[in-house]
Amino acid sequence: MKTTKDRRCELLVLLAWGLLLMLAWAVWLHRLDASDLTFDEAATYYVAYRPLLDILRYLQGAVREHPPVYYLLIRGWMTLTGSSEFSLRLFSLGAGLIALTLTGWLARLAAAFTLSHTSPTIRATLGLVPAALLVFTPGMAYYARDARMYTLGAAWTLLSAGLFLRDWLAPPSRTWPRRNAVASLVTVHGLMLFTHYYLLLPILVQPLTLLLARRFRSLLNWCAAHLLPAFAGLAWLWLSPGLQLTTAGLGANLALNLPTGFQLVHLLGKIICSPVVQLQFNLVYLLLTLISSGILLAAWRKWETGAWLALSLTAPLILAYLLPQSPTPRYLIFTLPFAALALA
């Protein structure tokens, strides 16, 4: 039974969350329409101004384009709010605020799994720390103001990670995931796959984590359940001549060498600093030391949590270097919340 002190603490946590979201809103909203659309942002309008079926037809034929979920959502948003610079960027800002909230939720789940003896109030308080770090991270702030799909991808990734941690990794190893847990995770992964192709990378973290944790029943269930989004992706590839041209020769041109440590540090630094903040290697190395310490501490408390957190942050960066083209930092900003979790 909750005491008066517990209720007061819960109220204070809710108040702190409200203040944090208002602060993020104010910081990210400042001069949101001060500049014209960039080339990439103009591409958002160019694709999304069409009728819904025409958007799908265009994306099927376009080379080096992204999948349709973001464009369909922004098309509906444009119908409601218009197509000005402010309204297009406001959609990304809203997705960024949702990502902040999901970061706090994920932190609470990780704390409940790792620090099971702490009170719910303390775990709720811990969720504020990584969210507050994200508010002032240049990379997150920059792309929350960018009329593209990157903050939406981060929100999907956080939702996926929370469902995975709660329903697949935290329960006892011999239990099968519930049907609604399987359905919800598969649905989110379908949305991820059709929002940005790079979001396949955080999806692949989950079977790797289950394999390391020796959750073989859950791994078998995970693989079987994901035949559906896999077939959906293959069907989209079959229906999309532009995507076929984009992926032609992908298998033959995969890099076989793992990236160097400096390459990973440089890529993570570019993700954290954004295109408009100069990369400071001393700061990046300091952050990397703190992040590594946080991962080791999580592994000491509960090694499955440490392994999941380490893979969530590093595996997408490593896999991105195996692709034929050099990694694009903006495609990987979904790793920022996991860095904030490790720092917290």
**How confident is the model over 305-329, as pLDDT tens digits?**
999 999 999 999 999 999 988 899 9
Q: Global pTM?
A: 0.96
For residues 22 and 297, give the distance between their C-alpha atoms in angstroms, rounded to a whole number: 31
The token pair that represents 92 in the structure block = 């990304």
* Residues across the chain: 344
Q: Which amino acid is at 328?
A: T
Mean pLDDT of the chain: 93
The confidence score (pLDDT) of residue 167 equals 94
CA distances from 246 to 63, 163, 251, 253 (A): 6, 32, 12, 12
Q: How many helices (H) and strands (E) does the chain have?
A: 18, 0
- Between 51 and 255, whose confidence is greater? 51
Q: Is the pLDDT of residue 253 over 80?
A: no
- What pLDDT, on a 0 to 100 scale, did the predictor assign at position 116? 66
Give the angle subtended at the CA of 177 by the CAs of 171 and 182, to the nearest 5°: 130
Give the distance between the most distant pair of CA atoms in the chain.
64
Rounded distance between C-alpha atoms, residue 317 and residue 301, angstroms: 25
Average pLDDT over residues 170-193: 90
Residue 143 has pLDDT above 80, yes or no: yes
| C-alpha count within 13 angstroms, C-beta hemisphere, residue 66 | 26
Residue 147 has pLDDT above 90, yes or no: yes
Q: How many CB atoms neighbour CB 191 within 10 A?
A: 21
pLDDT, tens digit, 9 for 90 and up, residues 65-86: 999 999 999 999 999 999 999 9
DSSP state letter for 165: I
Backbone angles phi, psi at 115, to 5 degrees: -115, 65
